[in-house]
Every structure is written in C-alpha cells, then in structure tokens.
C-alpha cells in the first residue's frame, strides 16, 4: 500500500508541474489576449494592459537575473560549505556561517541603497543584492547535508581505500545532494521573488510592471506582473521538488 | 601474515595501545577481544592506517605498512564494519565492486567477481544484485559488507565488530557462514569483538587485551584450560567454563558406535537404537533420564545430532528432551553413531 501511495503522489505532482508550466508559457506569450478581460474588470483604467515592454522580454530578463545570481550564490555557497567541512577549513565554520547570516539579515532594499552609488543603476546592484540574499540557505544546507553522511559510511570509504577526493565525489556529495538541492531551491525561490525590487533601481524584471502599477496607481499592471512572478516561483519550486527526489536513496528510512 | 612489533598508540600521555607484539600467521583467524576501551579497535585500525601508530612496526605480508601509500595499502586489505557502512546510494553490486573499481579492473572481470561473491554468500537469489542497502534485511546487508571486503581477493581481512548490530539468530547464521568462508578461502582474518562466545566460536587464536596491553594470545582451548591470570579467567566467565569448552568441540569428536536393532526386542546394551531398513533411527530403547525401567522413545527430528553440531548444543538437547543419548545422523538421516551423557564426561583432550 505504501508503495502505491509513493508512486502515485509524484505522478499527480508531475501533472501539476506540466499544467502550471503550460499556463505560465501561455500567459507570458499571450497576456495581450486577456486585454478585453482586464478592460472589463477595470473599466476606469485607461491602458489596462502593460505594453511598454513585451512580457516575454521581461520574463527572460527576470530569469537571466535569477539564473546568474543563483549560479554565483550556489558556486560560492557550495564552495564555502565544502571548505568549512574539510579538515583544513573546519575552524572557519563559525565565521562563514556568520557572514552568510549577515548577508541574509540585510534587507535587499538596503543593499541596493548601498550598492547603487558604487555600481550605478540597473542589473549589477540587483545582482549583488540577490547573490548576498541567496547565499545563506546554500551554505547552511551544504554544511548540514555533508553532516548527514554517517561517520561509519565515511570510515568504510576510507577503509576500502578511497582517496579524499574520491570520498567527496563518490560518497559525500551524492549523499548530501538532496539537502544541498533543498537549499538551492529555497535560494532560487527567494531570488525569483526578490528580483522584482530590482526594478526600483532600473533593472528590467517582471517587477517593472508591478512598480509602474504601484507608482501610477494602475492595479492591472500590478496583477499582470505579480501573477507571472508567482507562477514562475511555483513552477520552479515543483521542478526542484522533482530534482530532489532523484537523490533520495532511502538513507533517511534506513537510519531508523 | 600480519606482524605487530611493539605496537603503541599514545594520545597525549595515555597509552591506549601499549607495546603489543603478536604474529597472525597466514590463514589464521585471530580475534581481538577485551573490555571496552582496551584498545582492540584501535589496534585493528592501525593495521590499515585508519589510525596512525605512535611507536612500533606493523608488517602485512612482510611489508612495513608505512612504506605504502595508505590508499594502496587499504585496497590490499579487506575491511568490514557494521552494515551501516554500506554506501546507501549504491546498489548491492556496486557496493561489492568498490575496491575492484578503485583498482580499475576491467568491467567484465568485476561483474564476474561480483557474481562469484554473491553466490559464495548465498545472495544470488531474488534480484538482490540490483537492490539498495535499505531494501536488505540486516543479515543480507552484513553479508554484502563482508563480500565487499573480500571483493579484490585480499590476503588479509580486517573486521570491526561486524555482527554487533544484528539479532542473535542472524548473528548465529552469519558466524557459521563466516567460518565456512574462512575455511573455503583460507584468508588471514583479524576480527574485533567484545563477545566471548563469538570469539570462541570463530577464532583459531584469541588475543585478549586489557588497558592497551596484550594479556594472553593463545588457541581458544588453551585460553579456557590454561588462563594466564585471574583477569583472563574472569573475562571468559568462570561460571560456564565447561560449557564454553563444549561449544568449541564438535559432535564428531564424541561420536561412538551405536548399538542397533531392527525390532522392538530389547537388546543387551543399556542404550539401543531401533533402525529401519535404510538404517534410519526410529526409536531409542532405554536411555531415559530418571527412569530405571527400560523405555521406548520415538526419535523425532528435534533431538538428533549432526557431526558438525557443537557439543554444547548436543548436551543442551539431551537435557531438554530428558534423554542420555542422541543419535548422530549423516546428511541422508542414517545413523552414524551416538553421543551420550557419559561420553561428554569421558572425553579429554
């Protein structure tokens, strides 16, 4: 019974993932088709449809920002997590954890305020804010994930003649991968949402119609941007959920 | 062959292993035993350099272990620990193939070796080959662990309380299997345990350690008959020394010819076996405990002995079924002879 329950649950999540992805793509490409709907709902708004930029361009710019910032967060975060779990770097663990925590405590808006005078407007300050903000979950989960590898497993790996590199690549990273990916998932989801505020300093994102709507008191703009950001976050989350399941080896069940 | 020469391990000022010298000959099954903290596990892990020794020398097959890179040394020495040491993200076959892959054997040779080991440990059924460790029973996982240690056909096998986490029944089976594999492969084995019964059952030599020092290194029977001092006597357990000794002896050493008859008539001997045409025992005539008159007891499959059975078990069956003799049967169920209560007392060696 438990077997069938296990095999059924992911398949319904899969259907959900496919359906929402389809909806997201349809909205990105065909938001204009909904113009009559928005006009009917908001008869007093004159342009009831954001048209200064295509939603496709906004979405691609948004994705590029999230992708680049996440790539940097993940590489730096995983590297830092690996470093502080090696014998050579163990004493730096408290320092790295604190730095990552500071990065997350800083509100992204404050980071923008600091970075804009240095780096100017647009893509770069937003990127810096997102990288700092997304670092903590990656570092934390890398350290935690590597910590879940049982010491007997490591001893067996050493006792069977694996070198430190072989133990890292063949044993530690695969076993920690599920927890590390969970950290990346949190980091990416946060960044998808947070990237919208980059539009306050001139970065082109899905936040652009939202900010324009807020400034110009145009609720349809806000809805059009927010729906796409929300959908993007949900679809990404579901995709990561599937990715995490690939790295489940029943290790947690066997530990009991 | 493994030689420890003046082996010492210091942590600060404490000597957890203190000047141990012993030689484990080729094909020997050496059990390191002692109370917790006696240094037995540390001694074992110094042999494959999982722990570095402070003083002394360790030779494996004549080579000083410090002259080899640790990884090379460890690939030459099998290493088995409790089942949790299996790699949870690798299938059974991949786990067993660990060391051959590190040694870069061709894949066809690895596959053949894995199949050979699965067969040796009777793991070749039920598609176990492709299962993950968490899908195995405790006993199966433990067998895979030992198979992995044997995969690259090392001369030496180190085992650190490998059966510590399995239930007593499974442990019993695993011990019997390890004894068989040891007989079949002739490997030199160093085995750590804190269970004296396990040591007496498996060892060809027992090294008893206390507070980092080697107290006695001897054959199990010598340990029982001629303990070096009171510590040894206490550690073995004075109360059931006799039973421990019997657990080392096999029924075939005590087996005597049996008196047979084909019919119900009472033969002259006090213990007579009634057999059928194929020489299978049907009943025991006489030989009941506490009954002076001659009784007839029908043989049932519970109270028979086989040549490989330990005398401790045979004696236990006699007591339980209140008889003074057990029939010893061969594989076909034919009567080979008998073991008797008085025979247990008579034997000396």
pLDDT in tens, B332-347: 888 888 888 877 776 5
Quick check: A163 contacting B, CB < 8 Å?
yes
B339/B192 same-domain check: no
Helices A207-215, A55-85: crossing angle, 10 deg rounding = 120
Residues of chain A with C-beta less than 8 angstroms from the C-beta of B134: 249-251, 253-254
B185/B264 same-domain check: no
The closest alpha carbon to B310, from B243, B264, B257, B258, belongs to B243
What is this structure's pTM? 0.77
Choosing from B200, B217, B248, the residue where a domain stops is B248
Are B294 and B268 within 8 A, CB to CB?
Answer: no
- Rounded distance, CA B119 to CA B150, Å? 13
* Domain housing B275: 252-346
Name residues of chain B where pLDDT drops below 50.
348-349
Q: Output the pLDDT for position A145.
A: 93
Give the strands of the sheet with B63-64, arranged side by side.
B14-24, B2-11, B55-60, B63-64
Query: Are B135 and A250 a contacting pair at CB < 8 A?
Result: yes
CA B233, distance to chain mean position in Å, is 21
B94, B134, B138, B147, best to mutate vs chain A, most A CBs in 10 Å: B134
Q: Output the pLDDT for position A4.
A: 44
B73/B202 same-domain check: yes
Q: pLDDT of B189-208, one tens digit each?
A: 999 998 888 888 899 999 99
Choosing from B205, B225, B248, the residue where a domain stops is B248
B141/B159 same-domain check: yes
Q: Output the pLDDT for position A184.
A: 95
B45, B47, B83, B85, best to mutate vs chain A, most A CBs in 10 Å: B85
Helices B138-150, B107-120: crossing angle, 10 deg rounding = 130
CATH of the domain at B119: 3.40.50.300
Q: Domain A55-248 belongs to what topology?
A: MetI-like fold (1.10.3720)
Residues of chain B with C-beta less than 8 angstroms from the C-beta of A171: 87
Q: Output the pLDDT for position B172.
A: 85
Q: Output the pLDDT for position B265.
A: 62
Q: How far is B168 from chain A (nearest CA, A)?
A: 19
Domain count along chain B: 2
CATH of the domain at B280: 3.10.580.10
Q: Where are the domains of chain A?
A: 55-248
B221/B267 same-domain check: no
Residues of chain A with C-beta less than 8 angstroms from the C-beta of B83: none
Query: What sign does the CA torsion over A172, A174, A177, A179 have?
Result: negative
Residues of chain B with C-beta less than 8 angstroms from the C-beta of A157: 87
B215/B325 same-domain check: no
- Rounded distance, CA B115 to CA A13, Å? 39
B27/B92 same-domain check: yes
Q: pLDDT tens for chain A, 256 residues: list them.
A: 444 444 455 678 889 999 999 999 999 888 888 888 888 888 887 788 888 888 999 999 999 999 999 999 999 999 999 999 998 888 898 888 888 888 778 888 888 888 888 888 888 888 988 998 888 899 999 999 999 999 999 999 999 999 999 999 999 999 999 999 999 999 999 999 999 988 888 889 999 999 999 998 889 999 999 999 999 999 999 999 999 888 887 644 333 3
Q: Output the pLDDT for position B51.
A: 93
B268/B177 same-domain check: no
């Amino acid at each position: 019974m438990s077997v069938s329950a296990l095999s059924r649950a992911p398949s319904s999540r899969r259907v959900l993932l496919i359906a929402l992805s389809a909806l997201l793509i349809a909205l990105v490409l065909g938001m204009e088709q909904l113009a009559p709907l928005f006009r009917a709902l908001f008869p007093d708004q004159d342009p009831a449809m954001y048209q200064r930029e295509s939603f496709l361009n906004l979405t691609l710019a948004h994705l590029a920002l999230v992708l680049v910032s996440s790539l940097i967060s993940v590489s730096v975060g995983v590297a830092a997590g690996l470093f502080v779990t090696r014998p050579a770097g163990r004493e730096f663990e408290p320092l790295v954890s604190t730095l990552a925590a500071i990065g997350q405590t800083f509100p992204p808006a404050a980071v923008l305020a600091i970075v804009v005078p240095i780096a100017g407007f647009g893509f770069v300050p937003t990127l810096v804010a997102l990288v700092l903000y997304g670092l903590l979950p990656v570092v934390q989960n890398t350290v935690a994930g590597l910590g879940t590898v049982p010491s007997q497993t490591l001893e067996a790996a050493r006792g069977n003649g694996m070198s430190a590199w072989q133990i890292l690549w063949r044993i530690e990273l695969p076993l920690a991968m599920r927890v590390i990916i969970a950290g990346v998932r949190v980091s990416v989801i946060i960044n998808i949402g947070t990237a919208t505020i980059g539009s306050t300093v001139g970065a082109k994102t899905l936040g652009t119609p939202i900010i324009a709507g807020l400034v110009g008191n145009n609720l349809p703009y806000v809805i059009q941007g927010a729906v796409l950001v929300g959908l993007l976050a949900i679809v990404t989350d579901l995709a990561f959920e599937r990715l995490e399941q690939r790295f489940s080896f029943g290790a947690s069940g066997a530990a009991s | 062959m493994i030689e420890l020469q003046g082996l010492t391990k210091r942590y600060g000022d404490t000597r957890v292993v203190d000047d141990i010298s012993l030689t484990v000959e080729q094909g020997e099954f050496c059990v390191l035993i002692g109370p917790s903290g006696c240094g037995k596990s540390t001694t074992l892990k110094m042999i494959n350099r999982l722990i570095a020794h402070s003083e002394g020398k360790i030779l494996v097959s004549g080579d000083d272990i410090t002259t080899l890179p640790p990884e090379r040394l460890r690939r030459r020495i099998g290493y088995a620990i409790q089942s949790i040491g299996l790699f949870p993200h690798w299938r059974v076959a991949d786990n067993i193939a660990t060391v051959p892959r590190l040694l870069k054997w061709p894949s066809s040779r690895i596959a053949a070796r894995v199949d050979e080991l699965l067969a040796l440990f009777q793991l070749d059924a039920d598609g176990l080959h492709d299962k993950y460790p968490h899908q195995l029973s405790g006993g199966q996982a433990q067998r895979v662990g030992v198979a992995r240690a044997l995969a690259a056909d090392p001369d030496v096998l180190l085992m650190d309380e490998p059966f510590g986490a399995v239930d007593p029944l499974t442990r019993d089976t695993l011990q019997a299997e390890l004894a068989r594999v040891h007989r079949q492969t002739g490997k030199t084995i160093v085995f750590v345990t804190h269970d004296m019964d396990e040591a007496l059952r498996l060892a060809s030599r027992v090294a008893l350690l206390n507070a980092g020092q080697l107290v006695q290194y001897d054959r199990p029977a010598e340990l029982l008959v001629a303990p070096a001092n009171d510590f040894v006597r206490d550690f073995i357990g004075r109360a059931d020394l006799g039973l421990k000794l019997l657990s080392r002896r096999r029924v075939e050493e005590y087996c005597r010819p049996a008196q047979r008859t084909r019919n119900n008539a009472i033969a002259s001997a006090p213990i007579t076996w009634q057999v059928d045409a194929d020489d299978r025992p049907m009943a025991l005539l006489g030989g009941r405990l506490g009954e002076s008159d001659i009784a007839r007891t029908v043989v049932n499959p519970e109270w028979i002995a086989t040549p490989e059975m330990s005398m401790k078990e045979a004696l236990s069956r006699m007591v339980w079924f209140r008889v003074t003799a057990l029939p010893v049967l061969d594989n076909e169920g034919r009567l080979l002879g008998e073991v008797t209560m008085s025979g247990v007392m008579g034997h000396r060696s």
